[in-house]
Structure 1
Amino acid sequence: MAWDDLPQPVRDVVEQHFGPVAGADEIVAGGNSDIACVLRLDSGRSVFLKGVAGVSRRMRWLRNEIACGQVAAGVAPRVLFHADIDAAEAGENWLLVAYEHVPGRPASLAPGSPDLPLIAATIERISAMPAPGMTALRERWAPTDWWTRLAPETVVGWDVEEMTRLAALVPDLVDGDRLLHTDLHGDQFIIGDTGSVHVIDWGFPGAGAPWVDTAFMILRLIEAGHRPETAESWARARSSFADIQDEGLTAFAVYVAGFWSHLAATGGSGSPHRARLARGYAAWRLRRTLVTVI
């Protein structure tokens, strides 16, 4: 939805807060908001606006972003204002959030990218932050039977009983009290001209073990062209990754492969590409470690 397509009461709330809007540049990436744009204000200032219409999971995710504007202060873009507009005014319930505009470019995760040290430092910074008010990842990941829910053709060649056993170990492994983003990839890192880094899209935060976001980045590095062993070496160089052993990392990979495969198969927020990526990494981990006991 473009700025001019918004119900007039919604636009009025924004302009009451910021003054007249001279123009808006729509953001086409992402799909969890009904409006995402950079507003150019008459004052010469720019702000980033997100909005969701209708009470739904997407509205809950946007409320998470509001909370993380404080919890991840200095890393997440600063929240300038947020407002709930009820259906009596706008035809349906709206949640609007305006952030400071952080101009920059997405990070490159490609082998040899000069962005990789910046990404590493930013993840280390996040992993050291406390996570007050965030749902424990241990609770979110309490269901562990993803492999048993998959269609037979998806699990050909996999020992489903063993995968389920390994996945069941993960809630304890990810337990902790550090801030987690849980959905990091190159587009979530915005790198400014001066080398500043902001992390955006905090819809799925949690509290957990400090190594979790780095473990997710292994998958993203493989996706960007790194060999699995190179991606893991990058992760092992991070201090936040010190507490996870090979066997635990294999269990994590197995859990994520089952979870992402289930999301892709059921039309959730996952994709078939991401599910194949996770299963490929889990298979590589299993071959590498020949896990029998954790």
Structure 2
Amino acid sequence: MERFTWDDLPVTIHSAVQARLGSITVVREIEQGQNCNVALVLRGDQGDVFLKGVRGVSPQMRWLRNESGAGELAPGVAPETRFSEDIDAEAPWLIVGFEYVNGRPADLSPGSDDLATVATTVARINGLSGEAAQPLSKRWASTDWWTKLAAEAPDKVAGFNPEELTDWCRATPSLIEGAALLHTDLHEHQFMIDDDSSSVRVIDWGRPASGAAWVDTAFLVVRLIAAGHEPGEAEEWASTVPSWSERTDKAVTAFACYVAGLWSYRAATTPFPGATRLATAARQYARHRLTS
């Protein structure tokens, strides 16, 4: 997406933000993130605010609108929302000012001290209700990822049976149902850990969902594999999250097959930074589940 600096933004947006924050100093631009047009740390009369904005009606605008409500879904875990405003500036804009959270990303590599902190944080999320969020099972109604992947990138299905994996994918939606709050996109950059690891916030709640409490842990198993863990080692870490005990082997295998198909298809058709590495890790996990 096209990125805007503070000086590039329309005057109407300047005026709206200044009405909220008073005098403004731009502290820095945020380079991470692919789904917004503006990401800035601003200093106003009441302190620092993280400003995020999307131009034009799009899935990204819907995700930002979801994110603006995350402080109510996950109080004490997600950053608080200071303000949210729709602005007509030749094109429709949504701008949101979040509590600024200072911290570093988690280190997910083998042996990292952060792994215990991440497990504790995921357990906190698992204990929250997902009643207000869309069920992940509804979002995952499409189940033909392996069929489409075989047509688009046949080399990526080598060693797999697309028909068998499609059967696993069809079973997935009912196996991941539940009432727990899910982030659905947890990775190292979503955890903001302060210097002494005493405080952790989780950011970027663009696609929250409800589902089985173990699902976010399963997503992180794939992320750990991408960070250098063997699948068995990643599952050993998962066992330190209490909700992992609620899983069934069938449900986790179905989940792994679904994610491997979905992420591999997206990496082949609409790649984003890191897509190939993640898709490779997801297929590695699916192979592990199918053969173990």
TM class by smaller structure = over 0.9
Structure 1 position 168, deviation (Å): 1.1
Corresponding residue of 1:221: 224
The answer (yes or no) to whether the contact 1:71–1:132 under 8 Å persists in 2 is no
Letter in 1 for 2:232: E
Structure 1 position 166, deviation (Å): 1.1
Equivalent residue of 1:257, what SS?
A: helix
The answer (yes or no) to whether the contact 1:174–1:208 under 8 Å persists in 2 is yes
Question: 1:70-118 deviations in whole A, cap 9, x for unaligned?
Answer: 11111000001000002xxx11100000011111111111122111111
The answer (yes or no) to whether the contact 2:119–2:240 under 8 Å persists in 1 is no
Corresponding residue of 1:71: 73
TM-score, length basis structure 1: 0.93
| 1:12-161 aligned within 5 A | 12-41=15-44, 43=45, 45-86=47-88, 90-150=89-149, 151=151, 152-161=154-163
The answer (yes or no) to whether the contact 1:36–1:49 under 8 Å persists in 2 is yes
* Misfit runs of 4+, over 6 Å: none
Matched, 1:260 2:263: yes
Letter in 2 for 1:212: V
Matched, 1:273 2:272: no
Structure 1 position 268, deviation (Å): 6.2
The answer (yes or no) to whether the contact 2:136–2:211 under 8 Å persists in 1 is yes
Corresponding residue of 2:6: 3
CA distance in 1, matches of 2:83, 2:53: 12
Letter in 2 for 1:287: T
Letter in 1 for 2:215: V
Aligned-residue Cα RMSD (Å) equals: 1.4
Identity %, equivalent residues: 50
Question: 1:260-282 deviations in whole A, cap 9, x for unaligned?
Answer: 11212221668222211111111
Structure 2 unaligned spans of 5+: none
The answer (yes or no) to whether the contact 1:110–1:221 under 8 Å persists in 2 is yes
CA distance in 1, matches of 2:226, 2:276: 13
Matched, 1:282 2:281: no
Structure 1 position 245, deviation (Å): 2.1
Structure 1 position 283, deviation (Å): 1.0
CA distance in 2, matches of 1:156, 1:81: 49
The answer (yes or no) to whether the contact 2:84–2:95 under 8 Å persists in 1 is yes
Q: How many residue pairs are counted as aligned between the two chains?
A: 284
